[in-house]
Structure 1
Amino acid sequence: MKNAILISMFISMGFVLKSESNQTSFENINKEEVTATFDGAEGNYYFFTDSNNKALQFEDVDEKVKKSYDLINGDYVGKEFNINYKGEKIVNLKRIDN
């Protein structure tokens, strides 16, 4: 009986650990990072171009990013950034000094 209880506890712990690892990987789905040059903003859209001349468009910017970088005023056009995004939202932005 004790062995059956121990075995069921180990199996249960395995399911808990497995579900926690799935949750962690789920949180990282669609999180991307890219280095790109800021081309401008229009309306609710923010435009960048990466090193392969691929156009990137984002529809939303995290509030903390907005506080650090005013992308609307045009001061950052032509500047290069490391961009962390999830879906079409910029979640972190860091200017690269060049």
Structure 2
Amino acid sequence: MFATAARRTLTGLVPPKIATPGAVSSGTTSARTQAVIDFYSKLPKGPLPASERAGGLRGKFFEGANASGKPLLAAIFTLFTVGYVIDYQMHLKHHKNAHH
């Protein structure tokens, strides 16, 4: 029973078979060929509309005409700076009690 329920729910996601011998030999007016034509005619055509494109940092820096590596360089610089500050503070705590 589970296999048939899963099959029923996935039938809309799996495209119909195109090159089956029955579909090819029956001509272009068969119901199966018409189902294939209907399926592919419902697929979106052309580029993705501007309203559905990625926004935020991804859309601003990593896609389109303004694509660059600035966020990656900023992340590396930030991690380096935070690491340096933590290391410096730990070194100051070391010198607080005794000198080397």
**Normalised TM-score (structure 2):** 0.29
Structure 1 or 2: more helix by fraction:
2
**Normalised TM-score (structure 1):** 0.30
Q: Which has the higher contact order (CA 8 A, sep 6+)?
A: 1
